[in-house]
Structure 1
């Protein structure tokens, strides 16, 4: 038995060493979560506008075009429960904060990251921010949260090819290397709209309450809330479920009516945005983001 244990330990030791080296290497790769967390910490006394939401905000609003100091704290697949966790964690520290811009998309009230296909992203908040989420043990390790193939690819691209993993400017806005609108955007629109249509409204009541709590917490601090439904490509809009879209828009309108510090803006069908402004069915590209950011800046300056 002792001989077996010795052989087992001898076998496990190299695996453990390789795992530790990989974990260390992965944590040294720059990422958007760390960039935004650091910026918030170093500019907490100057940030006047905080932008929260999913990739719609991440790619769609560039603080470079906003007059006042702003931070884009949007991330891919970031859901409203996490938006609230971010706000709740930092609202008392952001002494200059005047406005929170929050996306109210077709999916906002019908999803939560912890129950979705991309729940592995919880590890990024756990490892690289001060935001406390309901995390599991695996969420405290890169090598346990993501498939080995993907982690090896990240290491190869960063350390061997010297490629930037994420394209995020200092204000948190992200751009994509691929900027041209895909030729098959009509087909993509139908597929994405179907993917974004919730099978049920199991999260609706909880998320609606979270949205209200965000507004109430901002009310207590004298902070304005701007709810924004972002522009989307026309074919995507045509394939959205009418009831889910209606419940989303109605929620925004009710918040606007019930809370004096809240404004709801619906740009979903805004005709100022055409095919050339979209990265895909529901995300703006660099050109579209500049256009939309300037529109938002005009609202914030009123």
Structure 2
């Protein structure tokens, strides 16, 4: 009798379990299918990361110049205007620790690279490095085969949509629903040649109006970050020198209202380090264009980012320097 009850209980459990699995499958299967569709859709969008990654894969033997840095470099350099075969591996909010990982992990592929451009803009030494939770880690792994997670990677680390669902949902809407081609005017180098929208366009590049607006700039000093970031930068320079790479330290143009509001102490500390670098290392080139008067309001998207016209001018000036480096 007890065996019958036991067998009946096991049978009921199996039946209930299979029912649960069936219901669960009916619920989760559409979710999985929907995610696969979203991921596939995102991967087809010609983002700057995708195009840059393809350029990296197809030109490893030819790339001579590598640009690294934040959005200021990303928006300032259009490799189309550089005579030497170049790649711009910078991105928004990218800091030196990410730059260094990208540099080291692409070095075995980019054996013919001779020059590396490193950004040291105003306040760069007093901004926190990227963390292992930086959402672009997935993009670097997927498109550049570079691990910036600071740990072993897993399958999910290559999934793009999950890295920032809100952002990529808006990209899907723009590309597939609104068919907004102006948001995806990416050239073969991954540079957006239609990236004009912004504060300066809104005010029709009128200096008088622009000088009356608020400026977004970091003026607080972070001395607790300064020493660590500077020493980390020295490590980057030591590595470049060991690899026989020429180094250009760059700071792109910024608008006059931005320059007027810079914290002089932050600026002084930055410049003091660059002075030390000039004495400690040979063969380093400095390209500081922060106050270059050739860049007018019509060159900018906002106070510290160039538009494509400004990028063309800056890239050509950078090109002159690069052509002088043997």
TM norm. shorter chain > 0.5: yes
Alpha-carbon displacement from aligned partner over 1:72-119 (angstroms, at most 9, x marks no partner): 222122211111111111223323222111221124222323279xx3
The aligned counterpart of 1:163 is 180
Deviation at 1:197, TM superposition (A): 4.1
Partner of 1:126: 141
What's the offset of the Cα at 1:152? 3.2
Match of 1:78 in 2: 94
In structure 1, the partner of 2:271 is 249
1:235, distance to aligned residue in structure 2 (A)? 0.7
Q: How does 1:149-228 map to 2 (within 5 A)?
A: 150-164=167-181, 165-175=183-193, 176-178=195-197, 181-183=201-203, 185-186=210-211, 190=215, 192-193=216-217, 196-197=218-219, 200-228=222-250
Contact 1:84 1:210 in 2 (8 A): no
Please give the alpha-carbon distance, in whole angstroms, between the structure 2 residues aligned to 1:300 and 1:133. Answer: 29
* Distance 1:152-1:71 versus aligned 2 partners, 3 A rule: closer
Question: TM-score, length-normalised on structure 1?
Answer: 0.87
1:104 aligned partner: 120
Cα offset for 1:224? 0.8
How much does 1:131 deviate? Answer: 0.8
- In structure 1, the gaps of 5 or more residues are none
CA contact (8 A) 1:58 1:172 kept: no
Highest CA radius of gyration, 1 or 2? 2
State which of 35, 57, 64 in structure 2 corresponds to 1:41.
57
Structure 1 residue 50, shift from structure 2 partner: 1.1
1:67 to 69, 83, 104: 83
Give the aligned partner of residue 11 of structure 2. Answer: none
The CA deviation at 1:60 is 0.7
Deviations 1:48-68 (A, max 9, x none): 211111111111122222222
Match of 1:240 among 242, 252, 262: 262
TM-score under structure 2 length normalisation: 0.81
**Post-superposition CA distance 1:25-61 (Å, at most 9, x none):** 2222222222222212222222221111111111112
Q: Which whole-Å CA distance do the structure 1 matches of 2:168 and 2:128 have between them?
A: 27
What's the offset of the Cα at 1:225?
Answer: 0.3
Change in 2 beyond 3 A, CA 1:142/1:73: closer
| Conserved? CA contact 2:76–2:310, under 8 Å | yes
Q: How does 1:136-155 map to 2 (within 5 A)?
A: 139-148=157-166, 150-155=167-172
Where in structure 2 are there 5+ consecutive unaligned residues? 1-15, 204-208
Q: What per-residue deviation string (whole Å, max 9, x for no partner) do you get for residues 197-235 of structure 1?
A: 456344333322332222222212221101011110111
